[in-house]
Amino acid sequence: MCLTGWRIPRILLITLVLMGLLTPGSATAGTPERGARHHSPVVLVHGWMSSSLPFLAMNVSLRQAGYPVYMIDFPGQDNLVNAAVVAEVVDRVAARHRSRVHVVGHSMGGLSTRHYIKFMGGARHVEQYVSMGSPQYGSVEACLLPESGGGQMCHTSRFMARLNSGDDTPGPLRYTTIRSTLDVPARATWLDGGACFHDIPGVPHALEPASAAFIAAVRETLSGTCPGRFVALPPT
């Protein structure tokens, strides 16, 4: 599982803000394009050492399809702190739209989101959980990182042990995991208990949020269709 994040240079960030494509803040919102059909809102959750910027293309695509879109920027790399941020944003978005919310998390963002759903009451607000390249059962590489700097993703960490205790897919929401074939091992990205699983060939981990193939898969998933296959339990 690759842990490498990427950032767009500051000068490009400033340009995007001036162009109106990005609004500064912990949760940036985009409204549906005029004339587009309206759907439940979507919250995009970035991964380790990244930001909301890699989600810009997905943000535009989803807005064109009629989804109100919100992008989170985390204060750091602690999953417990970040789960609280997800809770604050999703709960606020759900109240604003009077609707349950789709949440799409990349890499570590998928783990923060799962913690919110499983332990912080998120199942009542989330309509669909979608992860992209998230190490659902941990990463060996993360064991080299400090606990609050990504080390919680280590496959032997207390955070991962608690997250994967009991039901992986609690609540009435739908669960989907999407991964690149470059994300290894494959088993680490699966969820037990009933979920849709979809593999996309050859996309580098850090580029998944901006990948046309991943964006298309997310749009298909949010429309209610499993882009891959639904299984009750992963194969052994």
Cα 186 from chain centre: 17
- Residue 91, classified by CB atoms within 10 Å of its CB into exposed (0-12), middle (13-18) or buried (19+), is middle
The Cα–Cα gap between 138 and 124 comes to 26
Full set of structural domains in the chain with CATH? 25-230 (3.40.50.1820)
DSSP at 203: -
Cα 234 from chain centre: 20
Contact (CB, 8 A) for 106 and 54: yes
User: Scanning the structure block, which residue is given the tokens 């204060």?
Assistant: 75
Tell how strand 229-231 and strand 69-72 pair up.
unpaired
Q: Tokens in use for 5?
A: 């994040």
User: Scanning the structure block, which residue is given the tokens 């088993």?
Assistant: 187
Nearest to 134 by CA among 87, 195, 89, 84: 195
Spell out the per-residue pLDDT of the chain, length 236, in tens. 444 333 344 444 443 433 334 433 356 666 666 656 679 999 999 999 999 999 999 999 999 999 999 999 999 999 999 999 999 999 999 999 999 999 999 999 999 999 999 999 999 999 999 999 999 999 999 999 998 899 999 999 999 999 999 999 999 999 999 999 999 776 677 788 789 999 999 999 999 999 999 999 999 999 999 999 988 765 44
